[in-house]
Structures are given as C-alpha cells and as structure tokens.
Amino acid sequence: MTADYSTDPRVVLSLDGGGTNFRFFATQGNRLITSTVTLPSSGDNLERCLGNIVEGFRWTMEQCPQPPVAISFAFPGPADYPNGVIGDLQHLPGFRGGVALGPMLEERFGLPVFINNDGDLFVYGEAIAGFLPYVNGLLEKAGNPKRYRNLFGVTLGTGFGGGIVRNGKLFLGDNSLGSEIWLLRNKLNPQTRVEEAAGIRAVRRIYAEKAGIPFAETPDPKLIYAIGIGEYPGDEWAAREAFHQMGEVVGDAMGQALTIVDGLAVVGGGLAGAWRLFSPALMAELNSAYAASANEESVRRLIPEAFNLEDAAQMQEFLRTTTHEIAVPGSIRMATYDASPRIGVGLSRPGTSEAVAIGAYAFALRKLDSARES
C-alpha cells in the first residue's frame, strides 16, 4: 500500500512544471506550507526558463519554516528522469539535446533532486491523499468490502498526460516512459495522436471550426465552457461540440489504458473543470461495445462497468454491495462471488497541482528512506 507521510516533519520543495506556467510549493506532511509562487515557463528560451526555475525554488525556500531535505518535482518528458536529464520537449522547445536540470539544481541548492513526469506524480498524489483513499473511504462507510489498489489518471491541460499506481507503487517503466497516453491514436483522426484532440489548443481549434471563426479570435477554454453552459455569449453548439469531441477521444484513450490497468480512474488538469460538458461522451466511450461480428454478439470494450462518481445516483449505485454467497460444488462450504465488476471515474480531490506536490513529496521521502536503509 502507499506510504503514509501525513505527519512527517520533513520539508520538500516542489514544482508543477507545465507548458505555460511553473508553480512552486513547499510540502510538509502531505500539506502545502507556503504560498504558491507562479512564474512563466518561458519554454522557448532555455536560459530564461532555467532562471525562472532557480528563482522559483529560491523564493519558495525563503518561505519555509525549516530547511528542506530535497527538491522533488514534476516536469514533462521525454526525459532520463533517474539522472535528471530532460530531453526534447514539445511544449518547452528550448529544451533540446539533453539538459541536465537535476544536476544543475543539486549544485545550486546542495540538495538531492528528484524529477518525474507530471502525470505520474499527479496520480501518485491522488493514490496517497486524494481520489483513491476517498473512494475506498466511501466504500468502507457504505459497508462494502470492496477496496481498490490500482489507480490510473490523466491530466487535461496544455497537453495530455497520464500515470499509473499499482498496489501503492508508482509505475514508471524501464525507460521512465510508462503511461505515455498522449501517444495513443486519436479515435477521430487515426493518423494523429490523441493529444491533438485532447488539450487546450484542441478545444479552441474545434470551437473555431464549428463556429466558423479564425483560430486567433477563439476564446480560451474557460470562456468556451461558459458559452457551452449558456453563461457567456457565443456559439453554444460549437462549444458543446468542442468538449464532446474531447470527451470522446479521451474516453477512448482511457478505455485502452483501463483495459490493462483495471482500477479506478481520476481526471485532473485545467480542463477538468469542464467535466459537465465532456464527461457524458467520456463515460459513453468507456461503457461502449465493439460491433457484433458474424460469429458473435457485440463485446463490451471494458469488462467492468464504469461509473461516473461525480454523479450522485451513479455513486450510490457504485457503492452498493454486489457480492453474494454461492455453494462450492460437492461441499457444504460457501464462496463469495461478485458477478458485477466495476470501476469508478471522477475528478481530483486535492486539486491537480496539490496532488502533484503530494506525489513529489512522497516520492522524495521514499527515495531518501530507501537510501538510508540500504
């Protein structure tokens, strides 16, 4: 199971590194203990980008009540995360040819530095102090013996990221390239990757196409969402279609991942706030079926039924105990049987940035403790 660092006194500096902004925190006992320092990523200018990272950590360190024991943060990939070297990044084009970001920060601050993918640390934080314990707590309260140990998650923002936690352990892969969900095929345009239809730019592009306006005149997704729910003037149908298409391709990608993971699924990132508009298409994809063939009836794309845990009625049904006793053939014993496998999908509990910080905090402390014990 996941380690519990909720009462740990050690302080760790963290960074949620996105394609647009960098958000810096200090974490202690799974809680943010400093105000957030936000600086632009300046991703097209490596010198300015690295300067902002150093300044962000320096300003955050000045707020700490005691000296930090490590720096641990999220950063986009591809990267050689164990060695702290960042590769060629799509959304931060200044990073080219390998940038030794971890070693640079170790020299500047005299602290051990741990870097991971932002999607990985988001899901790790949700497994420790977010969606996973939240759902298991509700199951316990409802008297349902079912407990979940696996969590898959995605982040929807500038890009489309993902992560997997299995039995309390973060799955990274042999090349630190596990859960690269953004590279799955785009259901609506199979010649492109799913990220082309799942992110800020995609929502704006689809809205522009459907509304018949130039992309440069397209509002940001928050306003597109407001248009879609009738709270801001604009093309309501185009706004709804933009989020519907995003929900469909994200649901398809999540369905492919959940076929392998078989666990709960959590959604975070800036676009998660539009759940009301894109979740119907997402859930429909997860619960869809493949077309019937000549030799067999249609088959569900996921064996377990997927429940929208942000919907009160679906949550109530999800929490209902479905196990019952059946007789063991040739014996007087009884066996427990659950004929209704299910998974739940919902939104980040602590919030995306805080979940990333919690995940980064736990990753650093676990590494430090392992090194001390070895």
Q: Does any domain span residue 194? A: yes
Is 359 part of any domain?
no
Asked whether residue 187 is domain-assigned, the answer is: yes
What CATH number does the domain containing 250 carry? 3.30.420.40
How much of the chain, in percent, has pLDDT values that exceed 70? 99
Span 235-244, pLDDT tens digits:
999 999 999 9
Domain presence at residue 353? no
Q: Tell me, yes or no, whether 158 lies in a domain.
A: yes
Residue 191 and residue 109 share a domain: no
Q: Is residue 185 scored above 70 in pLDDT?
A: yes
Does the pLDDT value for residue 159 go beyond 90? no
Q: Are residues 292 and 335 in the same domain?
A: yes
Q: What is the pLDDT of residue 246?
A: 97
Domain containing 293: what range?
131-347
Phi and psi torsions of 17, nearest 5°: -95, 105
Are residue 135 and residue 284 in the same domain, yes or no? yes
Average pLDDT of span 43-61? 95
Q: What pLDDT is attached to residue 354?
A: 87
Q: Is the peptide bond before 78 cis (omega within 30 degrees of 0)?
A: yes
pLDDT of residue 1: 56
Helix (H, G, I), strand (E, B) or coil at 190: strand
pTM: 0.91
- Taking residues 318-333, report their average pLDDT: 94
Q: What angle do CA 38, 39, 44 make, to 5 degrees?
A: 145
pLDDT tens sequence across 64-113? 999 999 999 988 878 899 999 999 987 789 999 999 999 999 999 999 99
pLDDT on residue 374:
64
Same domain, 30 and 91: yes
Q: Within a domain: residue 126?
A: no
373: pLDDT strictly greater than 90: no
Let me know whether 238 and 306 are in one domain.
yes
Query: What does the alpha-carbon distance between residue 277 and residue 258 come to, in Å, rounded to a whole number?
Result: 22
* Residue range 285-306: mean pLDDT, rounded: 89
Q: Where are the beta strands (DSSP E) in the chain?
A: 11-17, 21-28, 31-32, 37-40, 70-74, 79-80, 85-86, 113-116, 150-156, 160-166, 169-170, 185-186, 189-193, 264-268, 289-290, 299-300, 305-308, 323-327, 334-338, 342-347
- Residue 122 belongs to some domain of the structure: no
Are 150 and 264 in contact by the 8 Å Cβ rule? The answer is yes
Number of domains in the chain: 2
**Rounded mean pLDDT of 197-216?**
95
122 closest CA partner among 23, 221, 44, 40? 23
Grade residue 58 by pLDDT with cuts at 50, 70 and 90.
very high
183 and 140 inside one domain: yes
Is the domain of 183 the same as that of 330? yes
Identify the domain boundary among 116, 149, 182: 116
Residues 195 and 306 both lie in one domain: yes
Residue 17 within a domain: yes
pLDDT at 199 over 60: yes
Q: Which of 92, 116, 140 marks a domain boundary?
A: 116
Do residues 102 and 173 both lie within one domain?
Answer: no
Binned at pLDDT 50, 70 and 90, residue 175 comes out as confident
CB-based contact 346:131 (threshold 8 Å): yes
Asked whether residue 176 falls in the same domain as residue 278, the answer is: yes
pLDDT, position 2: 64
Residue 269 to residue 275: CA distance in whole angstroms:
11
* pLDDT > 90? residue 61: yes
Query: What span, in angstroms and rounded, lies between the C-alpha atoms of 367 and 34?
Result: 23
Mean pLDDT of the chain: 93
Of the listed ranges 137-141, 176-180, 261-265, the one predicted with least confidence:
176-180
pLDDT for residue 121 is more than 90? yes
25: pLDDT strictly greater than 90:
no
Mean pLDDT of 20-33: 90
Same domain membership, residue 159 and residue 101: no
CA distance 52 to 38: 10
Domain stops at, among 70, 88, 116: 116
pLDDT > 90? residue 326: yes
Residue 171: pLDDT band (50, 70, 90) is: very high
Same domain, yes or no, for 20 and 156?
A: no
CA angle (124 as vertex; 225, 132 as ends), nearest 5: 75
Let me know: does 300 contact 311? Beta carbons within 8 Å: no
